[in-house]
Structure 1
Amino acid sequence: MKVLILTIWYPNAENPILGTFVHEQAIALRAYGVDVRIVQPLPSAPFPVTLFKESYRKLAKMPEKEEYEGFQVYHPRYVTLPLHILFERVGDWMYQAIRPLVTRIHQDWPFDIIHAHTTYPCGYAANLLRDRDFPHVKVIHTIHRTCIIDAPNYNRQCFEKVRTALEGADRDVFVSLEGKGLAITYTDGRCETKSEYITNGVNTEKFQLDEADTSEVATLKAKYDSTWNLVFVGYLNERKGIKELLSAVANLGSSGKSKLHLFLVGRNELGSYVDDFIRANGLANRVTLVGPVLHDRVKIWMSFADAFILPSHSEGLPTVLFESLYAGTPSIFTRVGGVGDIVEDGREALLIQPQSIQAIEEAITRLMDSPDLCRNLSTRGHQLIRDNFTWAINAERHRNLYQNIVAATSKGIP
């Protein structure tokens, strides 16, 4: 079985933590005997945009092809503009940009399936490749938050492109039931019979601590043994609830929770906001801005933490949910996206309403004041993920899906 993964999210030199969930899926698929190659189109922008956007200049220096942990990864360039300007045209631009490359790949390596991560623009472009160039190839879309919540709301034309992409896929795979419900609504039910619900997971082998990891965790625990350590992992931006989280930590410190120490692990997308807030509220000894870390170091921070928190305003199904619970870290999540599909409030994690400083304060206080609750959440959270939500389980379900689609095609079944 040969599967070409088409995705805008994949680890690269400019952003080594981008799309780690796609890479983890590829690793698990390979272990199940699926032959995988990756096409990650990289955005390029016309002059003079490149004068003002350093990220575009960095991406321009990346090679057209590289090998990443044993996978062939191709980087064709497609035109896109900042602030989602003309985003309704990006799917067509992507198709035109990647078509010559994909044609060459298919000549040397005739793939059976294009598995697109995002229904728009990647899935839309994959549909065009099948319809115009490779009629025997099947197309699967994995639908994440951005393409089912964000993209349809940019404008009416974007909504129509998303709807068209969903209806055109041979199978739509959703990481959350919320996303599946939205897609069924967008298409007036036309995509329901070809929709699957397959969640993300955790790489259990990679999330084991080796001797060096254990030593590093012990060092961190010794360094911060006098504080109660709360860890956030993710991009530091407004949608992740960072502003509310900082306000909650400031309030709790003022109200007597002096042992609380927050560690922010991830790329800062809020400019000087975090540093300014820390300075203005005297939180230098209570908030540590760790910065971005490689994915294989996330387990260090989760194993060190007394608790984990992800107070997002909106999510699809965050990979860090599976990782923090598998690590046995008592966790707090907002009840958004597919989070409530996986965990039950008070059983495997604490679930709170989004955009509420008070809810964050109350959840943190519950964990700080109840070691028994923390132990119970830790045990049940780990068992839930270990038994039900791993990348191996995800890969097995996808391999079966691939085989069923190809077998149906050979029998003339659409």
Structure 2
Amino acid sequence: MKKVLVISNMYPSKEHLSYGIFVKNQVEQLRAQGIETILAVNSNPNTGKVNVLKKYASWAGQVYSLFRKNKSCIGITHSHYVFPSGMFSYILKKRYNIPYVVTAHGGDINKMAKKSARIKGYTEKILQHADHIIAVGEELASNIQQDFQIPQERISVMSMGIDRSVFQKPLNKSELATSLSMNTERVNFLFVGNIIQEKGVQELIEAFLKLEEKYPQKAVLYAIGSTKNISFSNQMKELAQQSNNIHFLEPMPQKRLANYFQASDVFVLPSYIEGLGLVALEALACGTPVIASDVGGLHYMLQNGAGVLVPPKSVEALYNKMEQVIQQNGQLQVNEEQIQQLLKLHDSKEIIARLTAIYEKYSD
């Protein structure tokens, strides 16, 4: 098989470890299986109109430069995020007849495509001309099929996969928690995600403050994530100052992040929207039960007792479930059999095998 040109508007760097880390993980897994890839990616997370124009212009130059140098050996392109990444794949197909696969991650369909009629038009064009579409969750796949009139047979539901050699149950949870300076006498709640409103960070902090008011010195909250919105992040940190038990941590390498998943008692993901919620899977792989919003891919992933679902944007509902954890000494009842089935389905080895089959089907 010829090489795969991977195009993504998000990719991590030394300065921004978590920015599109799931794309990097998949690329490394592909390479480990002998699939040669060429990267045309943007690793600059800066926002603001001027910054966006500059970084996308630079990225566009990178895409076309790499394509020209490697044109003869590229058999297929794979874009992560329908727009803007998919535009490059669409153009390369129109000009050079290079087939392409595009992965929809959620925000590109649920947010980006709704920003304007123009972007929705671009999104529709990219999806209509894609040789195959990957949606990271069931609801996302359904939305693509219905909103953009895409035949079901051209869509695969496939997460980015979890590396179970990294995200696995700890040998000794208590020792690991102590090594991370966690108080093992308290319930350690964990959140991992961008510090933005759509992740339900404010509801989580308010629920925790309410919990601490009733159960003082019983729990700790760790929030690990990038500052995407400085103003909102500062507001949240100011709100969190009402407690000495809320800790904000910057993104970290995957193995260390896995340690936090392994050492925590419960993982909480109160998002407003979520294409899949890969971090919830990573928590489950580490043996940590999950409380999450009943939205998007989380609705399907955590059903049948794999996790505990709560309505989005509800401080009260979130508080009630977190209170149950306190009352049950850090325990949360979940369906272990369902979780194991879920982890098997989303194992990165299984995902890479399915993805490779798609490449081989459409590649020149």
Length-normalised TM-score, structure 1: 0.79
Q: CA deviation at 1:258?
A: 3.8
Structure ranking higher on relative contact order (CA contacts 8 Å, 6+ apart): 2
Contact preservation (8 Å) 1:7, 1:41: yes
Q: Who is 1:337 aligned against?
A: 296
Sequence identity percentage: 21
Name the amino acid aligned to 1:179. Answer: L
SS in 2 for 1:114: strand
Q: Who is 1:358 aligned against?
A: 316
Q: CA deviation at 1:381?
A: 6.3
Which of residues 82, 90, 102 in structure 2 aligns to 1:127?
A: 90
Which of residues 356, 359, 364 in structure 2 aligns to 1:402?
A: 359
State yes or no: 1:220 paired with 2:221: no
Residue pairs, 1:95-174, within 5 angstroms: 98-107=63-72, 110-132=73-95, 134-135=96-97, 137-174=98-135
Distance in 2, matches of 1:276 and 1:308, equals 22
SS in 2 for 1:206: coil
Which of residues 238, 245, 248 in structure 2 aligns to 1:276?
A: 238
- 1:304-352: CA deviation from partner (whole Å, max 9, x where unpaired): 111110111111112201100000101101111111222215x111011
Structure 1 residues 291, 44: CA separation in 2 closer, same or farther (over 3 Å shift)?
closer
SS in 2 for 1:225: coil
Contact preservation (8 Å) 2:173, 2:262: no
Q: CA deviation at 1:298?
A: 1.2
Name the amino acid aligned to 1:120. Answer: F
Structure 1 residues 31, 42: CA separation in 2 closer, same or farther (over 3 Å shift)?
closer
Structure 1 residues 381, 319: CA separation in 2 closer, same or farther (over 3 Å shift)?
same
Q: Who is 1:65 aligned against?
A: none
Q: Who is 2:188 aligned against?
A: 229
SS in 2 for 1:263: strand
Distance in 1, matches of 2:205 and 2:351, equals 35
Q: CA deviation at 1:79?
A: 2.9
Larger Rg: 1
SS in 1 for 2:111: helix
Name the amino acid aligned to 1:193. Answer: E
Contact preservation (8 Å) 1:252, 1:258: no
List alignment gaps of at least 5 residues for structure 2: none
Q: Who is 2:159 aligned against?
A: 199
Distance in 1, matches of 2:265 and 2:43, equals 38
Name the amino acid aligned to 2:345. Answer: N
List alignment gaps of at least 5 residues for structure 1: 61-76, 81-93, 410-414
Structure 1 residues 385, 298: CA separation in 2 closer, same or farther (over 3 Å shift)?
farther
Moved more, 121-130 or 161-170: 121-130
- 1:92-117: CA deviation from partner (whole Å, max 9, x where unpaired): xx66763233111224xx12110110
Distance in 2, matches of 1:251 and 1:16, equals 32
Distance in 2, matches of 1:16 and 1:113, equals 27
Distance in 2, matches of 1:43 and 1:225, equals 38
Which of residues 286, 304, 308 in structure 2 aligns to 1:327?
A: 286
Q: CA deviation at 1:157?
A: 0.9
SS in 2 for 1:173: strand
Moved more, 250-259 or 236-245: 250-259
Contact preservation (8 Å) 1:6, 1:115: yes
Which of residues 113, 135, 143 in structure 2 aligns to 1:182?
A: 143
Distance in 1, matches of 2:215 and 2:172, equals 36
Contact preservation (8 Å) 1:330, 1:378: no
Distance in 2, matches of 1:260 and 1:215, equals 18
Q: CA deviation at 1:373?
A: 5.7
Number of aligned residue pairs: give it: 359
SS in 1 for 2:74: coil
Distance in 2, matches of 1:196 and 1:98, equals 26
State yes or no: 1:259 paired with 2:191: no
- 1:167-198: CA deviation from partner (whole Å, max 9, x where unpaired): 011111111122212212222x2443311111
Name the amino acid aligned to 2:222. Answer: F
Moved more, 94-103 or 198-207: 94-103
SS in 2 for 1:395: helix
Moved more, 94-103 or 321-330: 94-103
